[in-house]
Structure 1
Amino acid sequence: MALSLIQGYLINNTYKLEKAAFISETRQSISRIDDLSPNLDTINDFWQNRFLNVIADYKIGSISKQQILPKFDSITNIINNLYIKTYQKDLRERNIDDNLKFQKIIKTIILLDSTQNDTIFKQKNNQPFHLIGDKFSMDEGHKVSNSLWLTDHSSDRVINGEMKEISFDLQFETEDRMNIDGWKRIVLGRMALLLLISILIFLLVFGLLYYSIKSFITQKKIADIKTDFVNNITHELKTPLSTLTLATKMLKSNEVISTTESSKAIVNTVERQNVRLQKLIDQVLNNSLGYQEISLQKETVNAHTYLNMIVDDFQLSLNDKAIKIDRNINTKQQIHIDKFYFTTAILNILENAVKYGKDQLKINISANLDKDFILSISDNGLGIPKKELHFLFDKFYRVGNKEIHNVKGLGLGLYYTKQIVKAHQGKIFVKSEINLGTTFTIKIPWQKW
């Protein structure tokens, strides 16, 4: 973040410097045009002479002070278009951008007198009087130079039938200003390389920031999953170990040893718990395999017969008669699969539906054959939050409150299911809504054998 702020500060400073350099270069290139151009000199002489005549009229009382600027404005309006065209012509002859606009503004007009000066006009509140040239606001333009014209003028005028000489001293202050259309684009063009490098640096910085945050979140998630797995496996192992501990103590008892039947029962308990421990260990080892490590022994089976057999066996294992399974198996084509692994994948999904099901659970199994073999298993269970769907097939990931162990498991079933499907070069998808249920869809490539 600090690097980005520094980079922004440097870009802003560079922009200001480039702007100042550009304005300075343009100012130097046009600063002497008004003085060195013969055509502009002629036009300037015209309005200057007319203006002096207007001041002379004011001096003898022919016009009021309020009429001076309007009369002067009417004079410059007549020659303004010619002035602009002449100025643009001189710009082209000097290879200066045609988009440049130029103007003269009046800052002060003062009649000088030994006793008391007469201020005819003085700029107030940044509101000058436009003299000649293009019209644009003070905010849009940039100062080129100031000019102070001091003159003592005299002319003959007829006053009350007599010819009299009128003389006066005049202070006339002007400012030359310029404006270039698209000057921001020109300045930014000069900074193009710097801006490109800065943008790349910004992208790099934000990319690294995004990667760091993402890595931190990923590491935290992995740490949480590991902690959850340790808690779950500890819980799963505690039950058989507690039973084994109790059985061992009972075997040490003289009363138990003297009873053959009791000894046999305890030994059988120890054997069962040993088998359970072995199965837990095998589950962790086998279900942690990646799809590259799964060695398939494929065979051709009738899809209709095979799927019905799995559903029949699964129904026999259910003690809850409230669970209803609907079948919609619309294909009798042959499919090429590893029966052992593919059966494991299907049973994992079915067992999850039962684990996280409602009191009146309904499971629907459908199968179709198009370009792919498509198997869909849906339920009306509790559903899965959308934010958790992305992690559903991650190793050791379990949906819901990890502190509650009323639903047993190690978070490996769906991970293993996905690996089996991938080993068959297929894909697995899941859709779910809270309290509406979940649908798993398996697609594996099919061809006629």
Structure 2
Amino acid sequence: MNRNTIRLLVLLGTLSITGIIAVQAYWVKRAFDLKEQQFRQTVMISLRNVANRISTLYKLSKFDNPVTQLSSDYYVANLRVPLDADVLEHYLKEEFKKQNLNTPFEYGIYDCESEKIVYGSYIDSDFETSTVSTKPLPKTDKYLNYFGVRFPSKTSYLASRLDIWLISSLITLIVTVFFGYAMFVILRQKRLSEVQRDFVNNMTHEFQTPISTIRIATDVLSQPKIMEQPERLKKYVQIIRQENNRLKTQVETVLNTARLERGKMQLDIQLQELHSLINEVTEGVQAELEDCLKIELNATKSSIYADRTQLVSLIRNLLENAIKYSPKPPRITIRTENTDDSLMFSVIDNGIGIPKESLEKIFKKFYRVPTGNLHNVKGFGLGLSYVSEIIKAHKWQIKVESEVGQGSTFKVIMKQEN
């Protein structure tokens, strides 16, 4: 599946999900508005019946429209006469029960003498009177004597009556999450596929070079006259040995990285002399780099507890990485120093540098800093990942300082035991 196809699938899927969510939101809003309209009609009918029952009690004529809605959850009803709160509460409970309006409400009666609404009570959804602190009920100049009823839980009450819509919204949410996860998996799989392809291509190239060199060397050694040229024989034997070691190192890097990540690498922790290991690793490249490699062994305490094999691999990987990404001839400095209770090992180069946005990614497996269309630097993309795993296994720290075009500095901070 190519990149354009994936982009098209993501676009179409996103548009589809967005459309479904928009339609769902529209119908939920319509359903809520309908429930709110039904609620309003039920309240208006209930309060009108209460007002008319009070009018009948006092032998007054009935109202046609005694109820006014002042806000979405607050209603007032005309009384025409003063009324006791207990009587009003009794009528309100009866009428709301009859209309199946099982939601908390609070009421108050306007007092003409004090020109205030005298708060009555808070009635819960079971029509039980309870004490709940609340803000004062608003007044109105529309009626001389009236009572007010407010429904503080109206929104939650209406939402609870949208069962089927809430279920469908939940299903839509699940579908959306599943779609997002599916897109994430597809894009991640695409990235892994590209990484795998690049890794195979790089590994093929890295293996082909020593294999081709060994094949050429064996062809030369198979010639009968080679025995008459001992210096030449020795040279090609040395070439085969070097390339064989190179292959071995590459295979071990891949295998050891996998073992370290799975936690199956058994570390043989012993006291190591860092300066000796640095000299051992650099001995093979000193002749090649000549004056380009500078070694500054400034640490007075250079012993560290570590796995010898892994520490050598760490030194070698950082050195080879500096050589790979530096111009010809490179200028590389290996430095050691003591800081507090730690031993710091640094590799400094004058290479191409690392962009700031890539600094946090360089230790990820297979990650290679983008270099546009240039692919002149070969490798598996495992070197720094392997270094990171070694450092984690030893509980050390690594810091990177780099600027594009100015080179990079890798500092490994190794905690020393007293």
Same fold (TM over 0.5): yes
Deviation at 1:217, TM superposition (A): 2.9
In the aligned structure 1, how far is the partner of 2:302 from the partner of 2:297? 16
Residue 23 (structure 1) aligned with residue 33 (structure 2): no
In the aligned structure 2, how far is the partner of 1:297 from the partner of 1:278? 22
Is the CA contact (8 Å cut-off) linking 1:92 and 1:98 kept in structure 2? no
Deviation at 1:413, TM superposition (A): 1.8
In the aligned structure 1, how far is the partner of 2:80 from the partner of 2:403? 73
Residue 284 (structure 1) aligned with residue 294 (structure 2): no
In structure 1, the partner of 2:269 is 298
In structure 1, the partner of 2:405 is 435
Is the CA contact (8 Å cut-off) linking 2:345 and 2:413 kept in structure 1? yes
In the aligned structure 2, how far is the partner of 1:285 from the partner of 1:239? 17
In the aligned structure 1, how far is the partner of 2:242 from the partner of 2:318? 24
User: Which segments of 5 or more consecutive residues in structure 2 lack a partner in the other structure?
Assistant: 1-16, 63-75, 97-104, 111-139
In the aligned structure 2, how far is the partner of 1:368 from the partner of 1:43? 101
In the aligned structure 2, how far is the partner of 1:85 from the partner of 1:320? 111
SS at match of 2:335: strand
Deviation at 1:222, TM superposition (A): 2.0
Deviation at 1:342, TM superposition (A): 0.8
Give the TM-score normalised by the residue count of structure 1.
0.57
Deviation at 1:24, TM superposition (A): 3.0
Residue 409 (structure 1) aligned with residue 376 (structure 2): no
Question: Measured at CA, do residues 187 and 355 of structure 1 come closer, stay the same or move farther in structure 2, by a change above 3 Å?
Answer: same
User: Which segments of 5 or more consecutive residues in structure 1 lack a partner in the other structure?
Assistant: 46-79, 103-129, 135-177
Deviation at 1:202, TM superposition (A): 6.2
Deviation at 1:399, TM superposition (A): 2.5
Question: Measured at CA, do residues 99 and 267 of structure 1 come closer, stay the same or move farther in structure 2, by a change above 3 Å?
Answer: farther
Q: 2:321 aligns with which of 352, 357, 369?
A: 352
In structure 2, the partner of 1:219 is 189
Question: Measured at CA, do residues 40 and 29 of structure 1 come closer, stay the same or move farther in structure 2, by a change above 3 Å?
Answer: same
In structure 2, the partner of 1:399 is 369
In the aligned structure 1, how far is the partner of 2:290 from the partner of 2:231? 32
In the aligned structure 1, how far is the partner of 2:214 from the partner of 2:281? 35
Over the matched positions of the two proteins, sequence identity in percent amounts to 28
Letter in 1 for 2:271: T
Q: Equivalent residues in 2 for 1:221-300 (5 A)? A: 221-243=191-213, 257=224, 260-261=227-228, 265=232, 269=236, 272-273=239-240, 275-277=242-244, 279-289=246-256, 290-291=259-260, 292-300=263-271
Q: Equivalent residues in 2 for 1:297-446 (5 A)? A: 297-301=268-272, 305-306=275-276, 309=279, 313=283, 316-317=286-287, 319=289, 321-322=291-292, 324=294, 329=299, 332=301, 334-358=303-327, 361=331, 363=333, 365-370=335-340, 374-401=344-371, 404-446=374-416
Letter in 2 for 1:24: Q
Is the CA contact (8 Å cut-off) linking 1:240 and 1:274 kept in structure 2? no
What RMSD in Å do the two structures reach over aligned CA positions? 4.8
Say which is worse superposed, 230-239 or 422-431, in terms of deviation: 422-431
Is the CA contact (8 Å cut-off) linking 1:324 and 1:362 kept in structure 2? yes
Is the CA contact (8 Å cut-off) linking 2:221 and 2:236 kept in structure 1? no
Deviation at 1:345, TM superposition (A): 0.3
Aligned length, in residue pairs: 339
In the aligned structure 2, how far is the partner of 1:286 from the partner of 1:339? 15
Is the CA contact (8 Å cut-off) linking 2:202 and 2:379 kept in structure 1? yes
Is the CA contact (8 Å cut-off) linking 1:376 and 1:442 kept in structure 2? yes
Q: 1:132 aligns with which of 142, 161, 167?
A: 142
Question: Measured at CA, do residues 260 and 405 of structure 1 come closer, stay the same or move farther in structure 2, by a change above 3 Å?
Answer: farther
Question: Measured at CA, do residues 243 and 206 of structure 1 come closer, stay the same or move farther in structure 2, by a change above 3 Å?
Answer: same
More strand by share: 1
Deviation at 1:266, TM superposition (A): 6.8
Question: Measured at CA, do residues 318 and 84 of structure 1 come closer, stay the same or move farther in structure 2, by a change above 3 Å?
Answer: farther
In structure 1, the partner of 2:130 is none
Is the CA contact (8 Å cut-off) linking 1:34 and 1:41 kept in structure 2? no
Is the CA contact (8 Å cut-off) linking 2:253 and 2:382 kept in structure 1? no
Deviation at 1:220, TM superposition (A): 2.2
In structure 1, the partner of 2:124 is none
In the aligned structure 1, how far is the partner of 2:78 from the partner of 2:39? 28
Is the CA contact (8 Å cut-off) linking 2:317 and 2:387 kept in structure 1? yes
In the aligned structure 1, how far is the partner of 2:109 from the partner of 2:38? 18
In the aligned structure 2, how far is the partner of 1:373 from the partner of 1:26? 79
Question: Measured at CA, do residues 84 and 225 of structure 1 come closer, stay the same or move farther in structure 2, by a change above 3 Å?
Answer: farther
Question: Measured at CA, do residues 429 and 219 of structure 1 come closer, stay the same or move farther in structure 2, by a change above 3 Å?
Answer: farther
